[in-house]
Structure 1
Amino acid sequence: MDISHKDESLYEKVKPVLQSKVEEFTLLGYDSVTEKDIWDYLVNKTWKKKKEVPMLYEVVQSILTLKIGDFMNYQRVEALKDTSFSLENEEDRLELLK
């Protein structure tokens, strides 16, 4: 499901809630988290298996109950997916030995 393209207005409706969550994460010391980061997490992780766009109250609930640990674990996994490191590559192996 690609909620970000199906219902852009939903993102706009919950923008104040997303901002509140960003402020909460900032208070906890995570200054680099953005509204878009949280939205991407919800679309790609929380609502990934949903067949239809969630109701407004479900979206708000998902944002408000999001824990920083869950979000950061997702961010770490995504960062690892994006790396081009490979043990089969001689250059990468040598870089580990430095």
Structure 2
Amino acid sequence: MNSAHLYDHFRNQVQPALQSKLEELYLLGYGKVSETQLWGFLTKKKWKKPKEEIRLYEVVQEILSLEPGEFMNYQTVEALKSSEFSFQNEEDWKALMK
């Protein structure tokens, strides 16, 4: 079930802001993040409850004001949800404690 988000129609218009945020994440040492990953975070987490009449400048502002830690926390939780990580597995514990 992959329904369209209310803000999806802004995606092409805000592409320069998305690119800027991706470059910022890279320069801060967060590795290579894709535009799809960033947009997924925005639509699934940051804009979980979208405003009906949001303006383009508000969407751009929210993208540019995104804190890298917010995005990385979300990515970490999503990775743990989708992985085979288990607190009962000793190897997983060792990897976590590195």
With structure 2 as the length reference, what TM-score do the two structures score?
A: 0.75
Misfit runs of 4+, over 4 Å = 94-98
Greater fraction of residues in helix: 1
| RMSD of equivalent CA atoms | 2.6
Q: SS in structure 2 opposite 1:18? A: helix
Identity %: 50
Structure 1 unaligned blocks of 5 or more: none
With structure 1 as the length reference, what TM-score do the two structures score?
A: 0.75
Count how many residue pairs are aligned between Structure 1 and Structure 2: 92
The answer on whether the counterparts of 1:19 and 1:35 sit within 8 Å (CA) in structure 2 is yes
Residue in structure 2 matched with residue 50 of structure 1 by the alignment = 50
Counterpart check, 1:22 vs 2:9: no
Q: SS in structure 2 opposite 1:12? A: coil
Structure-to-structure mapping, 1:1-98, within 5 angstroms: 2-3=4-5, 8-50=8-50, 52=52, 54-86=54-86, 93=89, 95=91
1:24-63 Cα distance to aligned partner (Å, 9 max, x none):
1111112211221111111000111226374312210110
